[in-house]
């Protein structure tokens, strides 16, 4: 049994080293969380990334996070991963959690592919034995052959993606947190990647996915949550939430089109 219980979570980001000029610019911004100032001389800049977010997830739930850039999707994922502790509210999680964000954690360009598989694997919570056991599978899947003995800085971008993807998808989590854009590579690899990703998702009890792709959300999720400026605007079945998202987008676009 895995579960996630998010109760009235609010997260403020303090911004350091931002002058008044950049503040003015961010106030004009149409996306992102609310920016405000605190302190005697209004010197503390805070960005409200999440405000009063609540939801519950159980086994079998596949939640899609929907919203514009800066709506709070990634912050919510990172809060679930335990990276950011909420300023207010609480997050309770039951089960082994695995965050799969952009690159493999601890990846070092100077180290060889094999060395990186070990380091990243350990950071993803695998023991040395577990990494050793999964090593052949990872090496085979990324199809990097002799390159695995060379430093990662000699790899092409696509090859790095392959390596990261192979490492990241070798885990066995209860709860999987996924930021979009993880899979890539050439067409043939993309096909195998999709297959491997589906296998991983089927092994996990709960999935939380942040994506801008309707197709991806529809295909992988059964629940949706719509975020805007850190607030939850809609929560429910994936189709309803996507519909709401597009209705709002059309509303916003309408006056501009006139």
CA separation, residue 159 to residues 51, 104, 152, 164, 186 (Å)? 39, 13, 9, 9, 10
CB of 246 to another protein, least distance (A): 31
Q: Does residue 218 interact with another protein by CB under 8 A?
A: no
Give the burial string for 116-139 (b: 16+ CB within 10 Å, else e): bbbbbbeebebeeebbeebbeebb
Query: In 10 A of CB 209, how many CB atoms?
Result: 26
Identify the CA nearest to 87 among candidates 38, 52, 54, 57. 52
Q: Does residue 84 interact with another protein by CB under 8 A?
A: yes
**Token pair for residue 52?**
């009063």
Stretch that binds another protein, among 103-111, 182-190, 200-208, 240-248 (CB under 8 A): 103-111
Radius of gyration of the chain (CA): 20
Q: Which is nearer to another protein, 106 or 181 (CB)?
A: 106
Q: Which is nearer to another protein, 33 or 224 (CB)?
A: 33
Q: Which is nearer to another protein, 17 or 19 (CB)?
A: 17
Q: Does residue 42 interact with another protein by CB under 8 A?
A: no
Q: Which helix (H) or strand (E) holds 12?
A: strand 3-15
Binding positions for another protein, 108-137, rule CB under 8 A: 108, 110-111, 115, 118-119, 122-124, 127-128
Q: Which residue ranges make up the site for another protein (CB under 8 A)?
A: 13-14, 16-17, 78, 81-85, 99, 101-102, 105-108, 110-111, 115, 118-119, 122-124, 127-128
């Amino acid at each position: 049994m895995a579960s996630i219980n998010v109760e009235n979570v609010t997260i403020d980001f303090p911004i350091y080293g931002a002058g008044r000029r950049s503040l003015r610019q961010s106030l004009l911004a149409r996306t992102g969380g609310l920016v405000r100032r605190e302190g005697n001389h209004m010197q503390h800049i805070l960005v409200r990334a999440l405000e009063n977010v609540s939801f519950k997830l159980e086994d079998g739930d596949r939640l899609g996070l929907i919203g514009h850039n800066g709506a709070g999707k990634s912050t919510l994922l990172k809060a679930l991963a335990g990276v950011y502790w909420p300023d207010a509210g609480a997050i309770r999680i039951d089960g082994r959690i695995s965050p799969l964000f952009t690159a493999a954690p601890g990846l070092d360009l100077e180290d060889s592919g094999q060395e990186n598989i070990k380091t990243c694997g350990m950071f993803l919570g695998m023991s040395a034995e577990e990494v050793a056991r999964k090593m052949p599978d990872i090496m085979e899947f990324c199809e990097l052959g002799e390159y695995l003995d060379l430093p990662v800085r000699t790899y092409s971008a696509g090859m790095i993606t392959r390596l990261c993807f192979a490492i990241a998808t070798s885990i066995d989590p209860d709860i999987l947190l996924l930021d979009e854009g993880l899979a890539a590579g050439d067409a043939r690899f993309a096909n195998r990647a999709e297959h491997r990703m589906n296998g991983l998702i089927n092994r996990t009890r709960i999935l939380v996915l942040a994506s801008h792709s309707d197709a991806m959300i529809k295909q992988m999720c059964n629940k949706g949550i719509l975020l805007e400026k850190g607030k939850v605007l809609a929560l429910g079945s994936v189709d309803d939430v996507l519909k709401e998202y597009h209705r709002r987008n059309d509303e916003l676009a309408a006056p501009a089109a006139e």
